[in-house]
A and B are shown apart, each in its own frame.
Chain A
Amino acid sequence: MRSKRPYSFAVALAALLVAGCSGGREGGGEATIDLRPVDRPTLDRVLKEHRGRVVLVDFWATWCAPCVGLFPHSVDLARRYADRGLAVITISLDDGSQEAAVRRFLAAQGATPVENFLATSGVSPQTFEEFQIEGGGIPFLKVYDRQGRLRATIAGAYPEKIDRAVEELLGEM
């Protein structure tokens, strides 16, 4: 973990730089970002569609600083492991009024290799309950195996734990 911190720090700073540059051409980037509303039944349906793949679900929000710092890692995983059968889903737990800010962030992150969703219930107990985010805090990540079974949950920004869970499940056939 210790050795990876400078890397994470660099990623966060890089993200900052990218975000700083995106302002002038907001419209273009946002248009390419697909952001769909999601509740629990929708997520369950999406997970079903991905049967046969390992699925990583990243619950995040623009108001959650560690989530923002971790986000590039999820995008990176999607790129790195697409051909081994990994699908990455991101679910923003922001209030609906923040949709434009969420889109701007996703565009600045180049979040195109991942599927992006916005929780329909906003920043509320209902949201955390319906997605079973134990402890009520994010970052919270769930990893499903190729049969669609939930196999790991990671609370907090621990990229190496996420990598370990994903790699282990990718190794299963």
Chain B
Amino acid sequence: MTRTRQAISMIAAAVVLVAAGCQEGAQAAGVKIGDAAPVWSGIQATDGKLHGLADLKDAKLVVLVFTCNHCPVAKGYEDRLIALQKDYQSKGVEVVAVNVNNIPDDRLEPMKKRAEEKGFNFPYLYDATQKMGRDYGATVTPHVFVLDKDRKIAYVGAVDDNLNVGSVKTHFLRDALDALLAGKAPPKAVTQQFGCGIKYEK
């Protein structure tokens, strides 16, 4: 990491540290494999439209990813999500990204900027109420939930097994999607999510 990046991290640290005071006692119970997927509707996004699960009724599978702007781990997975949408959309899979953090870097305007810079080919939602995060029990960014054709939870966890692309051995999410598209159960339905803790407010 360069010194500039380190300096930026430290400024961010000071900001986040103040924000972290809100995190306490907000751990959501969340969903388990086989549970009906909590519905969302009327959620604003970087494209200026309102989004809901009902909009995706034609999708065979929905990949809901809790992500955000500020987290280096979440950022490390952006390109992989873009590639995933590109590779799987024609197979009937839709990626939906959502941010539920409310720290300054993670608000709608910076989100719009990020979506444009990276050329997100999936909607990037902003749920300032954090309800989606609580409903699903999202704890970190990135945290992935796959909804099957009956909109039941079919996969929960990480995108793959290493932030460092060069060290990835198992593509958990792609393996789960391939299995589900073939009418089978994912080889691993639950994997350990990891990343930056979501800042829940009380």
Interface positions of A (Cβ within 8 A of B): 1-2, 5, 8-9, 12-13, 15-16, 19-20, 23, 62-70, 95, 97-98, 101, 104-105, 122-129, 133, 135-138, 155-158
Chain B positions within 8 Å of A133 at CB level: 194
Chain B positions within 8 Å of A138 at CB level: 197
Question: Secondary structure of the B side of the interface?
Answer: mixed
A128 near B192 with CB under 8 A, answer: yes
Q: Tell whether A69 pairs with B13 under 8 Å between CB atoms, given A20-B3, A20-B7, A123-B164.
A: yes
- Give the interface centre of A67, A105, A124, A128 by most chain B CB atoms within 10 Å: A124
The closest CB in chain A to the CB of B167 belongs to A122
CA distance A126 to B169 in the complex (A): 12
Q: Tell whether A122 pairs with B72 under 8 Å between CB atoms, given A12-B10, A136-B194.
A: no
A129 near B14 with CB under 8 A, answer: no
A136 near B6 with CB under 8 A, answer: no
B194 near A15 with CB under 8 A, answer: no
Chain B positions within 8 Å of A123 at CB level: 73, 76, 162-164, 194
A65 near B192 with CB under 8 A, answer: no
B162 near A9 with CB under 8 A, answer: no
CA distance A158 to B153 in the complex (A): 33
The closest CB in chain B to the CB of A5 belongs to B18
B14 near A127 with CB under 8 A, answer: no
Chain B positions within 8 Å of A9 at CB level: 14, 17-18
CA distance A158 to B24 in the complex (A): 9
CA distance A157 to B20 in the complex (A): 6
